[in-house]
Amino acid sequence: MKKIIAAAVATAFVAPVYAADITVSGDVEFVWRDNGTATFGETGDADYTIAASEEINGLGIVASVDEDEDARLILSGAFGSVAIGNDGTDNVLQAIDEAAAVAEKGAGQEAAPVVDGNDLSVVYTTAVANGVTAMIGYAAGSEADNHTAVQYGLTGSFGPVSVGLAGEAADTANADEDDALVYNVAVEFGPVYVAYEASSNRGGTEDLDGTAWGATYNYGPGKFFYEANSVETGAGVETTDLAAYGVSYKIAGDLNTYLSIVDNDLVEDNSTIVGIEYKF
């Protein structure tokens, strides 16, 4: 996170009137793809987040907004933390998912709650035991969706092993049958990381399930990665399988390059992806 230079310059000649620290973070990414029939380039990501933070009488306050005007407010203290927002990180299921999403590009499987992180959520997080954190949240969809959900989750770290479990009780017609659930387990030994994740009743559809697993090997300036995803196209029916594997290399600091090969069983040819990204 870098201090905003413009803010420093603007206040250099006047008495400071804001107590909050202003920071900016983000990333830019450029991608070249060859999908077997065409070669093309695209802007993979161009994201930024501006945040203000301060502490008042032991209460930590952080407010942020990103390029899509998604906002977040976090209050923290001895009681734990309360996060309110619609930026996708304050939804309990989406807060713990993607443990197996290790590919640089071309894969990734998110949890699929009925009320997702693009809707307004409030989440309370607190430590309940050594290495164990509990979350409870309430999410409300748009006026058109007219859905609300109570969400809950637990995460734990025990030496090289970390686990996560999150569920949702939504006010849908079949609320007792189609509550979304996601769980994962990850193990890290030195340069090796391996994770498995499963989700069920995705999007509130009963028996619509998905699985994913990923592995990386950190060789120093970069990683070798492999990720495999399988998602049912309908409840209890044929799955769509997708795998991505490749290597990344950090040129300097947070300037990263990568090569990713994507094998999607819905298309005949594999895709080759070359990318460069910088995070700040």
pLDDT in tens, 70-111: 889 999 999 999 999 886 666 888 888 889 999 998 777 666
Between vectors from CA 119 to CA 25 and to CA 64, what angle results, nearest 5°?
A: 25
pLDDT tens per residue across all 280 residues of the chain: 444 333 333 333 344 445 689 999 999 999 999 987 888 887 766 788 999 999 999 999 999 998 888 889 999 999 999 999 886 666 888 888 889 999 998 777 666 676 665 678 899 999 999 999 999 999 887 776 677 889 999 999 999 999 999 998 887 654 455 688 899 999 999 999 999 999 888 777 777 788 999 999 999 999 999 999 988 766 556 667 889 999 999 999 999 999 999 998 767 678 999 999 999 9
